[in-house]
Each structure stands twice: as C-alpha cells, then as structure tokens.
Amino acid sequence: MPDQELIAPELPEQRNPSESDLSSGWYKIADSSQINPKEAIQVDSFPTQIVVWRGEDSKLRALNLYCKHMGASLACGEVDGNSIRCPFHSWRWAGEGHCDEIPYAKKIPAKALTRAWEIDEVNGIVYAWFDKDANPSDPDGQRFE
Ligand code: FES
C-alpha cells in the first residue's frame, strides 16, 4: 500500500501554532506531579494541542496530540518504553516525532512523522518551548507561568 494511503489527509482540529500571537519562550503546561512515570496527559493551554508523557526513563516528551495515521488522541494511548502507542491501531510514536513501530507492518511509511515539542522540567514545573517559526529552543528564553 503506498504511503499516502496510510496517512489520513484530514485530521481532527489540530490548531495551527503558526497562527498564534504568543512570543517565543518556555510556557508552563503542567506541574511535574501531574505526570507520573508511564502516564500521558493532554495539554490544551498551548498554541496547539499536545500530548505530554513521562517515559520509563522518567523523561518527559511531547508531540502534537492527534495521531498522524487516522487522528486518534495520543493522550488516550499507552506509554510503551519511552514512546507512546496510539489507542486506535497501535502505531508507536517516539518523542522525536517519528513512528518507531507498527504492529504487523514490515515497513514504516516515510510520512509517518509528527511534530515534537521541546520540554523542560525545572523546580517541579513542566515547560514547553514555543516559537511561532519553529526555531530551536533557547535555554535562557523567557519563562511564562
Ligand atoms: S489512528 Fe491509527 S495508529 Fe493512530
């Protein structure tokens, strides 16, 4: 099956972050205590909806909320190792934004990519980096509570 048939052309209402008026910086999205190991949460208070999870290594990772296959919410999925597995057809997504496993498939489609968001955890607060033009994070960038 060609790649394009495996990727849904229309996804649920994933907000376009480039339409946001927010300045570049680190935005508080949660308290650390809200995300236990192997748990995922949905965050709506950000320029786009994201899923944030804590892997087995205790590190936090974040992706666009809706699965690039057929649009299921990854926040309803299951943390598997340090990746997150979609609740619908079990595609597994790594924190860098690529699909790293599809059950029963020999090949992962080249288009199975989603947007990853940089996370920083400081003093019990979880921040996500936002830049309208997707520029890389600045460790010393402004922090917004
Ligand atoms: S919607 Fe099919 S794997 Fe996510």
| 121 within a domain of the structure (yes/no) | yes
Tell me the mean pLDDT in the region 66-92: 96
- pTM for this predicted structure: 0.92
AA letter at 130: F
Residue 91: CB within 6 Å of ligand 1? yes
Element (H, E) at 24: none
Domain count, the chain: 1
| 132 within a domain of the structure (yes/no) | yes
Name which residue sits closest to atom 1 of ligand 1, judged by CA.
70
| 29 within a domain of the structure (yes/no) | yes
The whole domain housing 128 covers: 22-144
Which pLDDT score, from 0 to 100, does residue 7 have?
A: 60
Which pLDDT score, from 0 to 100, does residue 1 have?
A: 47
pLDDT at 6 over 70: no
Which CATH number is 123's domain given? 2.102.10.10
* Tokens found for residue 111: 């288009």
| 128 within a domain of the structure (yes/no) | yes
Residue 126: how many CB atoms within 10 A of its CB? Answer: 24
Q: How far does residue 11's CA lie from ligand 1's centre (Å)?
A: 11
Q: How far does residue 50's CA lie from ligand 1's centre (Å)?
A: 16
Residue 86: CB within 6 Å of ligand 1? yes
